[in-house]
């Protein structure tokens, strides 16, 4: 007996008819997704949600009557639903507004189809379909839970009581690599904002993000953080108090001198940049002086890389399920036995802050 699989219901909130048509065509490439409605602005979208009961919402940033930011805030207050920001605000001076929607509760970002992108039906459509499928399984945090978490300095919030655990950090620690995908910008904001301006080590972040949004992400975090936040340059020597983001379409590795070496090697685990590639190079170059942190995200990128760090005696930390928006990458590392510590996002931030304060052993929380 064949049982029909329930289709993912999507509501598009977008004032451009051309963009709506393009998005509908792209989503139509999957028989698992159904566009159940379109709205011209946020107010109209809010009125349609109770009637259409969508699983995922795609919203523009700039719209008349009610823009994407206000719309997202209202969604989280009234009907918490997984929300994807689809915006042309790439390369503009106010691109950080896109990430304000993530702060308000949206889960991920995607570039609005325009120009040549409208005609694409291959990788671009596949990426959008993949994001919708991932978001359909996400349970957003309510406005009340979000406000409590932000007030406590821990976002996303843990859902269960925590218990104490001790984490020992070696004096040999020299380099930190953090990997993330879906939900990563929000998690990285929590960690990086907590760091003091004189944080004693370099940090490399490998964040899976749609083309065109990396510079915006770096600008947004740079304005919010005390440490310097930049994009990696080839042959650059990593410096303390600086957070380096892997550039689009390049793997980040370390050469024998500890300088960054960018490569065009094939994707690993479907990604370039790949978290696993950078962590494997980290393990080879820094041995016990390496720390690998794996945050929220879909898939398994980073799991094998974290295992490499664990095998050479480095410190390995995976974000826990309750504070992850998508518990994919951390879960795979945990299953491999690669993660020595499994901590909520606030505790991970505390590990780094306490290390900066020269404490050898710190008391944290763990589910």
> Residue 275: which of 258, 256, 293, 290 has the closest Cα?
293
Q: Respond yes or no: is residue 198 known to be catalytic.
A: no
Q: Which two tokens stand for residue 266?
A: 């094939």
Give the strand pairing for 251-254 and 260-263. antiparallel
Cα separation, 226 vs 196, in Å, equals 6
Cα separation, 37 vs 11, in Å, equals 5
**Secondary structure element (H or E) that encloses residue 76, with its range:** helix 68-78
In the set 41, 208, 251, 271, the catalytic residue is: 208
Number of CB atoms found within 10 A of residue 287's CB: 14
Q: Respond yes or no: is residue 41 known to be catalytic.
A: no
Peptide bond into 273 cis (omega under 30): yes
Q: Which two tokens stand for residue 135?
A: 């978001």
Q: Kindly state the DSSP code that residue 40 receives in the 8-state scheme.
A: S
Q: Respond yes or no: is residue 310 known to be catalytic.
A: no
Cβ distance 353 to 362 under 8 Å? Answer: no
Q: Give the residue carrying structure tokens 């440490």.
A: 227
In the set 15, 60, 301, 320, the catalytic residue is: 301
Give the strand pairing for 228-231 and 203-207. unpaired
Print burial letters for 148-177: b (CB count within 10 Å at least 16), e (below 16). ebeeeebbbbbeeebeeeebebeeebbbbb
Contacts of 344 by beta carbon, 8 Å cutoff, 6+ apart: 154, 158, 162, 319, 320, 322, 323, 365, 366, 367
In the set 87, 136, 181, 281, the catalytic residue is: 181
Q: In the sheet where 108-111 sits, what is the strand order?
A: 33-39, 8-13, 56-59, 83-87, 108-111
Catalytic center residues = 181, 208, 301
């Amino acid at each position: 007996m064949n049982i029909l699989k329930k289709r993912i219901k999507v509501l598009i909130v977008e004032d451009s008819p051309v963009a709506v048509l393009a998005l509908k065509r792209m989503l139509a490439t999957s028989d698992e997704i159904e566009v159940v409605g379109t709205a011209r602005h946020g107010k109209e979208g809010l009125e349609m949600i109770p009637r259409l009961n969508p699983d995922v919402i795609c919203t523009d940033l700039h719209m008349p009557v009610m823009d994407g930011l206000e719309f997202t805030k209202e969604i989280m207050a009234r009907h918490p639903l997984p929300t994807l920001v689809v915006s042309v605000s790439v390369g503009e001076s106010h691109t950080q507004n896109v990430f304000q929607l993530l702060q308000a509760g949206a889960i991920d970002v995607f570039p609005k189809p325009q120009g040549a992108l409208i005609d694409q039906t291959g990788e671009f459509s596949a990426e959008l379909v993949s994001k919708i499928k991932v978001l359909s399984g996400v349970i957003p945090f309510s406005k009340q839970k979000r406000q409590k978490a932000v007030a406590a300095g821990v976002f996303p919030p843990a859902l269960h009581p925590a218990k104490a655990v001790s984490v020992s950090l070696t004096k040999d620690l020299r380099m930190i690599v953090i990997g993330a995908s879906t939900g990563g910008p929000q998690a990285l904001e929590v960690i990086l904002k907590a760091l003091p301006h004189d944080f004693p080590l370099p940090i490399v972040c490998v964040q899976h993000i749609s083309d065109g949004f990396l510079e915006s992400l770096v600008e947004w975090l740079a304005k919010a953080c005390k440490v310097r936040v930049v994009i990696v340059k080839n042959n650059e020597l990593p410096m303390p108090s600086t957070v380096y983001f892997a550039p689009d379409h390049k793997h980040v590795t370390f050469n024998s001198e500890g300088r960054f070496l960018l490569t065009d090697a094939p994707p690993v685990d479907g990604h370039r940049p790949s978290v696993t590639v950078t962590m494997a190079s980290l393990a080879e170059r820094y041995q016990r002086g390496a720390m690998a942190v794996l945050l929220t995200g879909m898939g398994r990128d980073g799991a094998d890389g974290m295992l490499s760090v664990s095998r050479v005696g480095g410190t390995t930390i995976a974000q826990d399920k309750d504070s992850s928006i998508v518990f994919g990458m951390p879960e795979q590392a945990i299953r491999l036995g690669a993660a020595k510590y499994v901590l909520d996002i606030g505790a991970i931030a505390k590990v780094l802050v306490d290390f900066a304060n020269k404490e050898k052993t710190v008391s944290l929380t763990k589910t």
